[in-house]
């Protein structure tokens, strides 16, 4: 599946219409981004059931700022409109494959229960 370009105009629709989205926050001048790009593209070919998207942090500064992107590349994984992973750094192919497997195996009901528990307690910190 082709990687789609996310903008502030299509971002919410993309996350609403797709259960599993991997997002690469990148910029054309970023060396590590250029190294990670082909790895991300190959994964998108292998996992055609998932949505792979890219956010150009130069063109979409508002979107990058809304996710507090401080360093690029940053990879974000969103399942059922919930961010389950967000880390800066270019992953090697094996690490990206492992991350996708772990994200697929994640019990989203358990994730939602944990988030609800944290929100009920006022945040992730221990009371």
Mean pLDDT of 43-58: 96
Percent of the chain exceeding pLDDT 90 equals 79
pLDDT of residue 127: 40
Among residues 6, 33, 63, 76, the one annotated as catalytic is: 33
* Six token digits for residue 121: 């307690």
Question: Residue 119: is its pLDDT beyond 60?
Answer: yes
Q: Which of 1-5, 10-14, 78-82 has the lowest mean pLDDT?
A: 1-5
Q: Is residue 68 part of a domain?
A: yes
Question: Residue 45: is its pLDDT beyond 70?
Answer: yes
* Six token digits for residue 88: 């800066």
Verify whether residue 99 is a known catalytic residue.
no
Residue with tokens 């929100």: 119
pLDDT of residue 122: 76
* Six token digits for residue 50: 């998932």
Question: Residue 52: is its pLDDT beyond 60?
Answer: yes
Ramachandran angles phi, psi of 26, nearest 5° = -150, 175
pLDDT of residue 98: 96
Q: CATH number of the domain that 39 lies in?
A: 3.40.30.10
DSSP lists the bridge partners of residue 83 as 78
Q: Is residue 125 part of a domain?
A: no
Among residues 6, 23, 30, 90, the one annotated as catalytic is: 30
Q: Is residue 106 part of a domain?
A: yes
Question: Buried b / exposed e across 42-68, counting CB within 10 Å, b at 16+?
Answer: ebbeebeebbbbbbbbeebeebbeebe
Q: Is residue 126 part of a domain?
A: no
Mean pLDDT taken over the chain = 91
pLDDT of residue 111: 86
Verify whether residue 30 is a known catalytic residue.
yes
- Residue 52 lies in domain: 4-120
Q: Is residue 127 part of a domain?
A: no
Q: Is residue 41 part of a domain?
A: yes
Into how many domains does the chain fold?
A: 1
Question: Residue 124: is its pLDDT beyond 80?
Answer: no
Please write the tens of the pLDDT for every residue from 64-115. Answer: 999 999 999 999 999 999 999 999 999 999 999 999 999 999 998 988 888 8
Distance from C-alpha of 55 to C-alpha of 33, rounded to nearest angstrom: 11
How many CA atoms lie less than 13 Å away from 65 in the CB half-sphere?
5
């Amino acid at each position: 599946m082709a990687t789609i370009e996310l903008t502030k105009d299509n971002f919410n629709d993309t996350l609403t219409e797709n259960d599993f989205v991997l997002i690469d926050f990148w910029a054309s001048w970023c060396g590590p981004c250029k190294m990670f790009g082909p790895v991300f593209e190959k994964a998108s070919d292998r996992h055609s059931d998932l949505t792979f998207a890219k956010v150009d942090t130069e063109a979409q500064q508002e979107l990058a700022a809304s996710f507090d992107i401080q360093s690029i590349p940053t990879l974000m994984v969103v399942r059922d409109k919930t961010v389950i992973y967000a880390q800066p750094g270019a992953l090697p192919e094996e690490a990206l494959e492992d991350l996708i497997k772990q994200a697929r195996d994640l019990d989203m009901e358990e994730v939602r229960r944990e988030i609800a528990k944290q929100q009920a307690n006022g945040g992730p910190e221990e009371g």
